[in-house]
Amino acid sequence: MEFTSYYFASNKNEEDLNKLICDPLFAKIVEYLSEHKEQEVILRQIKAAIPTDSNLELYLDKLIKYNLLERKNRRYSLTFPIYTMDKSIQLPDSITRAFRNITQESSMLNNCFVFGEWLWMLLFEDEQDNYFFGVKASPESQPIFRRREEGNDSLRFVSIYTDSLVPLDLANYFNIHSRRKDLPQNFEVLQNVIGDVDINYFIPQIQKVIRSIKRNKTRVDKQNIFQEALIMTGDLKRNTENQLFLAVPIIDSECACDEIQTILDKLQIELPPLWKTIHNQNQRIFFKQQLYSVLFKNCLPELDHISYFKL
């Protein structure tokens, strides 16, 4: 079974755009216009194909406003591409070997830095202009990864995860709350513990928990809701002696050792030519998503999610 995910950045209200995409009408309209893209589709045909109690014309006008739909001479068509995840891109052996050397010899702290910070920023930091495209995939397709980051100047929570997964972690919890969206069912247990706590209040409380655990590793400890929240998300765990320890890395901008940084400096020269000639932004970002996915799955094949704290 195939499904389509959408990726975008907009200088308009992204929350309104996200609501449009989440409306069940969007998938129906996209499917119909995609199937009839070689034909001239008029409003009457859309209404006949997509019966609804909603105001279809008003919804189509909103899609036109966000440049997702074009109406020309009373004919409707999509303005964005839909790509297919049908094959993996091929990378030079030198690049693949370099990333494998880094991950095979590194700790999870370094792996999080490489894939969560260095590589993600190299690929996507400059891709903040308007873009919009869909990607059609099946459960067997190579996954595409998303990144969430939430926090303040003191501490930030970062989560990298496959598109089909919204892991129970602090980055996603606070991101969903900030967008005032309904929490997925697996987040309800965390919601019951900390509720709608403000992130700027939450962070100092968990910093106290982390400092306390580093000072006192005894088995007996007085548990509070912030410690309980960290245990629920897997950020805190107990060892065989029932002692709590921080299970996720805390990284900073200079956590890579000299040997790894030397490899990264070389990769920073070798990687950009792979997408230099792709001038269409949608195509370029899609290529970069595939590139990231191939490298992640080749180097960390057992993982579909990494999370960490960032100073």
pLDDT of residue 150: 97
Residue 167 has pLDDT above 90, yes or no: yes
pLDDT of residue 251: 93
Confidence of residue 15 (pLDDT cuts 50, 70, 90): confident
pLDDT of residue 149: 97
Separation of alpha carbons 76 and 96, rounded Å: 44
pLDDT of residue 221: 59
pLDDT of residue 272: 97
8 A C-beta contact, residue 279 and residue 77: no
Confidence of residue 141 (pLDDT cuts 50, 70, 90): confident
Confidence of residue 62 (pLDDT cuts 50, 70, 90): very high
Residue, of 15 and 171, whose pLDDT is higher: 171
Q: Is 243 exposed, middle or buried (0-12, 13-18, 19+ CB in 10 A)?
A: middle
Model pLDDT for residues 264-303, shown as the tens digit of each residue: 999 999 999 999 999 999 999 999 999 999 999 999 999 9
Residue 256 has pLDDT above 90, yes or no: no
Separation of alpha carbons 274 and 123, rounded Å: 11
pLDDT of residue 218: 54
Residues in the chain, total: 311
pLDDT of residue 231: 95
Separation of alpha carbons 285 and 291, rounded Å: 10
Say how many C-beta atoms besides its own lie within 10 A of residue 32's C-beta: 17
8 A C-beta contact, residue 158 and residue 170: no
The structure tokens listed for 195 are 């509720």
Say how many C-beta atoms besides its own lie within 10 A of residue 174's C-beta: 20
* 238 phi and psi angles, rounded to 5 deg: -110, 140
pLDDT of residue 279: 95
pLDDT of residue 297: 93
Q: What is the pTM of this model?
A: 0.92
The mean pLDDT of the chain is: 91
Model pLDDT for residues 172-209, shown as the tens digit of each residue: 999 998 887 788 899 999 999 999 899 999 999 999 99
Residue 164 has pLDDT above 60, yes or no: yes
pLDDT of residue 217: 60
Model pLDDT for residues 207-237, shown as the tens digit of each residue: 999 998 888 765 555 678 999 999 999 999 9
Model pLDDT for residues 63-91, shown as the tens digit of each residue: 999 999 999 999 999 999 999 987 778 89
8 A C-beta contact, residue 20 and residue 63: yes
The residue-averaged pLDDT of 99-126 equals 92
User: How distant, in Å, are the alpha carbons of 25, 35, 44, 249 from that of 51?
Assistant: 10, 17, 11, 51
Residue type at position 216: N
pLDDT of residue 219: 54
Residue 257 has pLDDT above 70, yes or no: yes
Cα angle 103-107-109, degrees, rounded to a multiple of 5: 105
Which residues are CB-contacts of 308 (< 8 A; sequence separation ≥ 6)?
Answer: 109, 112, 116, 158, 248, 249, 250, 251
* 151 phi and psi angles, rounded to 5 deg: 150, -155
Which residues are CB-contacts of 211 (< 8 A; sequence separation ≥ 6)?
Answer: none
